[in-house]
Each structure stands twice: as C-alpha cells, then as structure tokens.
C-alpha cells in the first residue's frame, strides 16, 4: 500500500485554516496538499490547479458518476470534492493534507480508517465572527450563512482524533506537525 499518511484538517470558515496549512508546508516541504475540485467561482487571488480545480457543475456531476472522488459534499450552494487518484498519487510520495469539512471527513474515515482527523477551533466565537467579517469577499448574507454552518461544524469536532486551537498560526502549525510526527507508520 501507499506509504504516506492521510491527514484531514477541518475547521470553520474564518478560523485561519489556510494560513495554518501554509505555515505547515513551509516548515515541512515534503508535505503535499490535496487540491480539491469545486464548482465555486475562484476568488481574486486563487489559481486553478493550486488552490482548487475550478470545474462546472456538469463536469463535477460527471466525476461523481465516474467514481472519481474519494469524498465529496455540497455546501454553501457549491460542490467540493477530493479527486481520488490525485490523493493516492501524492500518498505514494509522502504525507498528504486534506482541507475538507466534516461531511467529507466522515467519508474519508469510512474509506480510509487509518486517516488522521484534526479539527481547528478558533480562540473564541467572537474572534471567529471578527475574522469572518474581515474577509472582503463575504456579504452580510454569506456571513450569516457561514456563521450558522460554523456552529454546526464546531459541534462535529468531538468525533475527530485531535482538536487544536488556532490562537497563533505558527504555534498551531507546530502543534499539528508534532501530532503528525508522532503518528505510527
């Protein structure tokens, strides 16, 4: 079987997951990131094939029928999914990080019980709301929708293997890297 570990990272929108993941990959250059496919339109700074594979709804549904996803979910009115082959290929070369939400995390745990699931919490709900509002790309409606979903996501943290708090991106990245380093081969 493949030699790398599958590490799922979840956390509500606005928790600073992207920054933490970035720090982790700076500190451990052999870690790879599973690039998801999505039907969400790209944000201004996002690059196709780096942050996501941006695909049409038709293409995404075709990929579902082809069994191309390790897991997928529909939330915030868009589809998001992990292309199975890409994740497997990256695992041949080392540990792979998946930035996915709880419905996807549950599917990964079923398909690959050896996967490690880590949930990132904000220091407080107030801080999460502040960070969500600080994102230029979210309207009032979107903020309300994301906050509601954040509350649901945080309720899911109890069935994850580890819960970490992002009080500081560097420290949090270190904590997750320590968890990964201690996992058995």
Nearer to ligand 5GP, 38 or 175 (CB): 38
Shortest separation between residue 93's beta carbon and ligand 5GP, angstroms: 20
Shortest separation between residue 152's beta carbon and ligand 5GP, angstroms: 11
Nearer to ligand 5GP, 33 or 181 (CB): 33
Neighbours of 152 (CB within 10 A): 12
Nearer to ligand 5GP, 13 or 166 (CB): 13
The CA-based angle 113-160-130, given to 5 degrees, is 140
Query: Can you list the pairs that 149-153 forms with residues at least 24 positions away whose Cβ atoms lie under 8 Å?
Result: 149/12, 149/13, 149/75, 149/76, 150/12, 150/13, 150/14, 150/15, 153/10, 153/11, 153/12, 153/101, 153/102
Nearer to ligand 5GP, 65 or 184 (CB): 65
Shortest separation between residue 131's beta carbon and ligand 5GP, angstroms: 12
Site residues (CB under 6 A) for ligand 5GP? Answer: 13, 36, 40, 71-73, 80-82, 99-101, 103-104
SS3 label, residue 155: helix
Nearer to ligand 5GP, 81 or 122 (CB): 81
Pairing of strands 6-10, 116-121: parallel
Residue nearest to ligand 5GP (CB): 104
How far is Cα 49 from Cα 55, in angstroms, rounded to an integer? Answer: 10
Shortest separation between residue 45's beta carbon and ligand 5GP, angstroms: 12
Shortest separation between residue 65's beta carbon and ligand 5GP, angstroms: 17
Q: What is the DSSP letter of 80?
A: E
């Amino acid at each position: 079987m493949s030699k790398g570990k599958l590490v799922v990272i979840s956390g509500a929108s606005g928790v600073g997951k992207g920054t933490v993941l970035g720090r982790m990959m700076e500190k451990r250059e052999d870690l790879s990131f599973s690039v998801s496919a999505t039907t969400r339109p790209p944000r201004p700074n996002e690059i196709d094939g780096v942050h996501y594979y941006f695909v049409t709804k038709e293409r995404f549904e075709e990929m579902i029928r082809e069994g191309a996803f390790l897991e997928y979910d529909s939330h915030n009115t868009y589809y998001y999914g992990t292309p199975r082959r890409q994740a497997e290929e990256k695992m041949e070369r080392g540990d792979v990080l998946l930035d996915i939400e709880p419905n996807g995390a549950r599917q990964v745990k079923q398909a690959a019980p050896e996967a490690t699931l880590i949930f990132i919490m904000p220091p407080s709900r107030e801080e999460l709301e502040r960070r969500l509002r600080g994102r230029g790309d979210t309207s009032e409606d979107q903020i309300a929708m994301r906050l509601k979903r954040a509350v649901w996501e945080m309720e899911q943290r109890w069935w994850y293997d580890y819960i970490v708090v992002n009080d500081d991106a560097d420290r949090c990245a270190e904590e997750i890297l320590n968890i990964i380093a201690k996992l058995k081969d």
